[in-house]
Amino acid sequence: MTGLPGSADLGSPAGRYRMLRLIRGFEELALGLVKSGEITGGIHPYIGQEAVAVGVCAALRPQDRITSTHRGHGHVLAKGADPSRLLAELLGRTGGLNRGRGGSMHAADFSLGILGANGMVGAGGAIAVGAAWSARQAGEDRVAVAFFGDGALNQGVLLESFNLAAMWRLPVLFVCENNGYATTLPAATAVAGSATGRAAAFGIPAVEVDGMDAEAVRAAAAEAVARSAAGGGPGFLECRTYRFEGHHTMERLMKLRYRTPEEVADWRGLDPLPRAAALLPPGLAERLDASVAQQLAAARQFALDSELPSVEGALDHLYADGLRPRAGSGA
Partner 1 sequence: MRLSYTKALNRALTDALAEDPAVCVFGEDIGAGMAGPTLNLLDRFGPGRIVDTPLSEQAFTSMAIGAALTGRRPVIEFQIPSLLFLVFEQLVNQAHKFSLMTGGQANVPLTCLVPGSGSRDGWAGQHSDHPYSLFAHAGMKTVVPATPTDAYGLLRSAIADPDPVVVFAPAGALPVRETVTWELSPIPLGSARIHREGADVTVVAVGHLVHDALAVAEELAPEVSVEVFDPRTLYPFDWTALAASLERTGRLVVVDDSNRSCGIGGEIVATAAEELRLIAPPRRITRPDGAVLPFAPALDRALQPNRDQLRDAVRAVMKHRPTSSREDRGR
Q: Which is nearer to partner 1, 81 or 280 (by Cβ)?
A: 81
Under the binding rule (CB under 8 A), the answer on residue 244 touching partner 1 is no
What residues between 302 and 321 interact with partner 1 by CB under 8 A? 315-321
Q: Which is nearer to partner 1, 244 or 302 (by Cβ)?
A: 302
Tell me the C-alpha distance between 167 and 71, whole Å: 29
Q: Which of 56, 128, 206, 237 binds partner 1 (CB under 8 A)?
A: 128
What is the Cα gyration radius of the chain?
A: 20
| Bridge partners for 207 per DSSP | 237
Residue type, 150: D
Tell me the C-alpha distance between 219 and 213, whole Å: 10
Under the binding rule (CB under 8 A), the answer on residue 156 touching partner 1 is yes
Under the binding rule (CB under 8 A), the answer on residue 131 touching partner 1 is yes
Q: State the number of binding residues for partner 1 (CB under 8 A).
A: 50
Annotate 4-18 with b (16+ C-beta within 10 A) or e (fewer).
bbebbebeebbbbbb
Cα of 242 vs its chain's centroid, Å: 14
Q: 144 near 128, Cβ under 8 Å? A: yes
Tell me the C-alpha distance between 44 and 47, whole Å: 9
Q: Which is nearer to partner 1, 180 or 309 (by Cβ)?
A: 309
Q: Which of 96, 171, 234, 246 binds partner 1 (CB under 8 A)?
A: 96
Under the binding rule (CB under 8 A), the answer on residue 167 touching partner 1 is yes
Q: Which is nearer to partner 1, 260 or 310 (by Cβ)?
A: 310
Q: Which of 178, 164, 172 is nearest to 145 (CA)?
A: 172
Parallel/antiparallel/unpaired status of strands 206-210 and 235-240:
parallel
Q: Which H or E element spans position 177?
A: strand 172-178
Q: Which is nearer to partner 1, 186 or 313 (by Cβ)?
A: 313
Q: Given the rule CB under 8 A, which of 52-60, 114-122, 177-185, 250-258 is the region that contacts partner 1?
A: 114-122
Q: Which of 70, 73, 75, 101 binds partner 1 (CB under 8 A)?
A: 101
Cα of 219 vs its chain's centroid, Å: 18
Under the binding rule (CB under 8 A), the answer on residue 100 touching partner 1 is yes
Q: Which of 30, 115, 191, 296 binds partner 1 (CB under 8 A)?
A: 115
| Residues within the interface to partner 1 (CB under 8 A) | 65, 67, 96-102, 106, 108-111, 115-116, 118, 120, 123, 125-135, 137-138, 144, 156-157, 160-161, 163-164, 167, 315-321, 323, 325, 330
